[in-house]
Amino acid sequence: MKRTHLFIVGLYLLSSCQAEEGLNFPTYDGKDRVVSLTEKNFKQVLKKYSMLCLYYHESVSSDKVAQKQFQLKEIVLELVAQVLEHKAIGFVMVDAKKEAKLAKKLDYKAFEEAAEHFQPYIKFFATFDRGVAKKLSLKMNEVDFYEPFMDESIAIPDKPYTEEEIVEFVKEHQRPTLRRLRPEDMFETWEDDLNGIHIVAFAERSDPDGYEFLEILKQVARDNTDNPDLSIVWIDPDDFPLLVAYWEKTFKIDLFKPQIGVVNVTDADSVWMEIPDDDDLPTAEELEDWIEDVLSGKINTEDDDNEDGDDGDDDENEDDDGNDSDEESNDDSDDDDE
């Protein structure tokens, strides 16, 4: 696939030159510009160009046909390198066998294969633009992990990486402190609960109060990003218009204003933070205190169950008393009949 892309790029460049230079195809001037990259000259070559295009190839056999084919590919590379020389774009070849260590260091195949484990739920991006990498503070061959709503990324340690190392790191960090429930992965998110519960926040980003509440949630998430026991599921009701009425009925809440509560994933029992009105949203500190009570078990969905259970016992006792009265009445009736 890489080779195909290479030739397509070469032909595209030739056609561009044809249009710009009056139908004259550029011809190879004989100057060697394509470099065979090794560990020794790697840093020197890297400093020379603003962008570096790599061509990986297997070691060329002694077969004349194979050598001829390789020479043709090399000429195409030389011609492309000649056309793009003024843009400080360099072309190098890497022998995957002779320079196996370097090839592993430069290749991002492990990154591609690791990405397949998490698609489409976690997105993987690669950049080959030095300017973009600089803006992201991304070093060569480094993989940075960005948690949703966080300002800073986490660099995966110990590069170069294997596929297994990247997968292991992402699995360890894939549950964000604050995550948005999305239609495309809502079931996966809901199944990823912590001890059978979810801390759920409803807030409309398009609504001023909802936006303000979401910013408070982000602040709390950033301040507690190192807490492995905390994961808040943010739901924007606008994303699920057909479920709004169901959620309001199930949780007994008004989704026209921001809400945050703890939900039991087994029976949908829930307890919600008291927010008097939209003009009196909780501060980040108040929200943190409430969340701490949830994580410590001080606030939990079982409290309501216990109260309901007590009510149920009272009802049963009343029923028993009623049955006794009925039996006594029946006995009296029998006596009267006699």
Average pLDDT over residues 27-34: 90
Q: Under CATH, domain 178-296 is a member of which superfamily?
A: Glutaredoxin (3.40.30.10)
Q: Mean pLDDT in the chain?
A: 81
Distance CA 275, CA 252 (A): 14
Confidence of residue 306 (pLDDT cuts 50, 70, 90): low
Average pLDDT over residues 118-126: 85
**The two domains 35-173 and 178-296 share their CATH topology (first three levels equal):** yes
Render pLDDT for 253-289 as a digit per residue (tens, 0 to 9). 999 999 999 999 888 899 999 987 767 899 999 999 9
Render pLDDT for 176-223 as a digit per residue (tens, 0 to 9). 999 999 988 889 889 888 888 999 999 999 999 999 999 999 999 999
Render pLDDT for 140-163 as a digit per residue (tens, 0 to 9). 888 999 999 888 889 998 877 888
Q: Which of 48, 127, 140 is nearest to 88 (CA)?
A: 48
pLDDT at residue 293, rounded to an integer: 93
- Architecture of the domain spanning 35-173: 3-Layer(aba) Sandwich (3.40)
| Domain ranges across the chain | 35-173, 178-296
The answer to whether the CB of 89 falls within 8 A of the CB of 77 is no
Q: The tokens of 336 are what?
A: 């009267």
Share of the chain above pLDDT 70, in %: 80
Sign of CA dihedral 303, 309, 311, 313: negative
